[in-house]
Amino acid sequence: MNPIDLNLTVGQIVVENPALASVFERHGIDYCDHGRTPLIRACSEHSLDPQRLIAELEETDTPRQHAGEIAWAAGGVGELADHIVATHHRYLKEELPRLAYLVKRVEAAHGDRHPELRELHATFESFRSEMESHMVKEEAILFRLFKRLENAEERPSVHYGVVNRITRMECEHTNHAQLLARMRALTSDYSLPGDGCNTYRIMLHRLERLEVAIHEQMQRENSILFVRALALNKTLAEAESGVSETARLRQRPAERFSAPEHQIDLCAVADELRQEIHPAISGRRQETLFKRGSVTVTLFVFDRGGRLDEHVAPSGSVSIHVLSGSLNVETATQTHALLSGTMLLLAPGVRHSLYAVQATQMLLTVSLE
């Protein structure tokens, strides 16, 4: 194994050698959502001796570091998607029903003495339901789209919303990780209680194995598959438009608003905004979709932590419609927490600021009076 550099990110380390994920799991180091964290910083955050952790990583057995794993560093998006379906999805489709039986059986046998098993059962069923839905969306929509992008000489019409769909999958990954963390907490890090039976032991072992498999796969999708798909989509978009990165320009407003009727694909607009080369301003990008007379409609795309500082429409009513993500709108009287599918209406003269709790798409309508 190559020497481990402390400046490598934990995500890079796991990509190069997936077997090392188990070491990070033992120390509570998140190589999935926080995969861009350098190893040296992860050691500091978890009060670990860097050299001892490196020694532990280097001593770890790596029997799975063979050709099947090397494909992740070189395979195309179609090949990687097929590999996920054939291995990871197949494992989940077989394992989740078996685990559901074990969790239910252990709760029935031990629930009276261990009431936390009731919440474990409910949490597992939520996880199972979300994961089964997630796999269907990947296989039926996202992975097929990736293959069409890979095989296309020009960007197909179904490219619209690639960034948005990937963002949704990453949000679901975060939800999955939170449910797994809750199951680990409910089982005290998968520790067998003194009165636990062999079925209890097997359930804990398989839940822990499930957690490792899910974290490993989420990291591969977030750090490899999705990154490559986005790069491919961006390359095709530039070829389609005939504009280079340095020359990308939006259509003039007079051209956009001249027609008497407008049908707008919000996912497509959001996709294009996220792929613009120029840096986002305060973690946000925006485009005016429609402006005529007293009405202006604007689409905002916020990065996590993006903001819009305090401002006011002195003579206009404002509607803020969250299409996806989560947004806090602060006024002089309260903070409104807006989730996907919710809308806030503000009367003229109400000062407000916005903060994106997570990656968010927002539709803003201002109607002057």
Residue 7 contacts residue 202 (beta carbons within 8 Å)? no
* Position 336 pLDDT exceeds 80: yes
Statement to judge: residues 83 and 197 lie in one domain = yes
Span of 5-19, 42-56, 84-98, 343-357 with lowest mean pLDDT? 5-19
Tens digits of residue pLDDT in 106-127: 999 999 999 999 999 999 999 9
Q: Spell 286-308 as b/e; 16+ CB within 10 A means b.
A: bbebeeeeeebbebbbbbeebbb
CA atoms of 179 and 128, how far apart (whole Å): 10
Q: Which residue range forms the structural domain that includes residue 363? A: 253-368
Our CA angle for 228, 210, 33, nearest 5°, is: 40
pLDDT for residue 259: 67
Tens digits of residue pLDDT in 255-285: 555 667 778 878 878 877 776 655 677 788 8
Span of 55-59, 145-149, 240-244, 345-349 with lowest mean pLDDT? 240-244
pLDDT for residue 58: 84
Q: Can you tell me the mean pLDDT for 13-27?
A: 75
DSSP letters, 347-369, are: -TT--EEEEESSSEEEEEEEEE-
pLDDT for residue 245: 43
pLDDT for residue 236: 75
Statement to judge: residues 152 and 180 lie in one domain = yes
pLDDT for residue 311: 80
Statement to judge: residues 58 and 97 lie in one domain = no
- Pairing between strand 360-368 and 335-339? unpaired
Q: Can you tell me the mean pLDDT for 126-147?
A: 91
Statement to judge: residues 188 and 296 lie in one domain = no
Strand partners, 356: 327
CATH number at residue 27: 1.10.3910
Tens digits of residue pLDDT in 212-252: 999 988 888 888 888 888 888 877 766 655 544 444 445 55
Residue 112 contacts residue 182 (beta carbons within 8 Å)? no
Statement to judge: residues 102 and 229 lie in one domain = yes
Nearest to 329 by CA among 352, 349, 307: 352
Residue 245 belongs to some domain of the structure: no
Residue 247 belongs to some domain of the structure: no
For the whole prediction, is pTM greater than 0.85?
Answer: no
Statement to judge: residues 99 and 208 lie in one domain = yes
If one counts the domains in the chain, the total is 3
Q: Can you tell me the mean pLDDT for 16-41?
A: 79
DSSP letters, 51-89, are: HHHHHHHHHS--TT-SHHHHHHHH--HHHHHHHIIIIII
Statement to judge: residues 59 and 85 lie in one domain = no
* Position 74 pLDDT exceeds 80: no
Residue 306 contacts residue 340 (beta carbons within 8 Å)? no
Boundary (domain end) residue, out of 45, 65, 85: 65
pLDDT for residue 314: 66
Statement to judge: residues 190 and 105 lie in one domain = yes
Statement to judge: residues 59 and 82 lie in one domain = no
DSSP letters, 212-239, are: HHHHHHHHHIIIIIHHHHHHHHHHHHHH
Statement to judge: residues 216 and 161 lie in one domain = yes
Boundary (domain end) residue, out of 240, 265, 283: 240
Residue with the larger pLDDT of the pair 189 and 170: 189
